[in-house]
Amino acid sequence: MAAEINPRAAAACVLTAKANNVEPFEVVCCDLDICMRDRLRGLVDVLLFNPPYVPTPPEEVGSKYAAAQGGK
């Protein structure tokens, strides 16, 4: 299961899972804290996630340098 707030990234996640034969697999397009809290209550002891930590200015999104942000 994956949670992604960005619809385009969620769609890419689905394609990646299919390309790698990951089944069953579900992507929920939402804010992780808001949509998953009740759904996972009592089912998860530890939840690991990778929150965004470096804001990317809109003019840099989609540029060839976007993937390097924060990866210094």
CA proximity to 57, closest of 70, 47, 42: 70
User: Which one is predicted more confidently, 66 or 14?
Assistant: 14
CA-to-CA distance for 72 and 37, rounded, in angstroms? 33
* pLDDT tens track for 14-39: 999 999 999 888 888 988 878 888 88
Measured at the CA of 49, the angle between CA 70 and CA 61, to 5 degrees, comes to: 40
CA proximity to 9, closest of 53, 58, 63, 62: 62
pLDDT at 71: 45
Q: How many CB atoms lie within 10 A of CB 61?
A: 9
CA-to-CA distance for 23 and 9, rounded, in angstroms? 19
What's the pTM?
0.56
What does the pLDDT average to over 2-14? 90
